[in-house]
Amino acid sequence: MTGVRHVITGSPVGDLTLVADGDALIGLYFEGHKRTPRLPDLGPRVDDGAVFDATARQLGEYFDGERTAFDLPLAPRGSAFERRVWALLTKIPHGETRTYGQLAVELGEPGSAQAVGNANGWNPISIVVPCHRVVGATGGLTGYAGGLERKRFLLNLEEPPAEADGRLF
């Protein structure tokens, strides 16, 4: 199937809008997402499609605790710097977090923590590109386009049970 189109699917964190172009996922947005998609429109709403079926299946496995990484064709739209940040986000292991500063250092641009934070905030493929795994310099929860309650939920979902007892949030 070609062209931009979308579906809405339910999840434990509310309805999610999945957006695809061709065979690639280009967006995954929460209901009430704080930053609107940069797309001119989400295309028509459709009932199915291979990329949507695969995404819904993998999200279900993730929420059931059976999946720790996603294997989907992704084509996020953004600047070259944003795409570099988003690619780095996909390398943060399940159950771990990084700070904006750590990501800036990993990018080879140690003074760019604020720019990394901005790119993180514009991540168009929430959950799959795990921007929820990025925390403030002190380890505290900071902004999240889906809201801090969803961020907390996702981090708690990913946390190994033995470590959950000592967690502050």
- The pLDDT value recorded for residue 39 is 72
Task: Write the pLDDT tens digit of every residue in 38-83.
Answer: 777 888 888 878 999 999 999 999 999 999 999 999 999 999 999 9
The DSSP annotation for 77-123 comes to: -S-HHHHHHHHHHTTSPTT--EEHHHHHHHTT-TT-HHHHHHHHHT-
- The pLDDT value recorded for residue 45 is 87
Is 139 part of the annotated catalytic residue set?
no
Residue 107 · residue 120 · CB < 8 Å: no
**Which residue shows structure tokens 């993730």?**
62
Residue 73 · residue 24 · CB < 8 Å: yes
- Which segments of the chain have a pLDDT < 50? none
**CA atoms of 8 and 61, how far apart (whole Å):** 17
- The pLDDT value recorded for residue 155 is 95
Catalytic residue (one of 74, 88, 103, 131): 131
**CA atoms of 58 and 149, how far apart (whole Å):** 22
- The pLDDT value recorded for residue 144 is 86
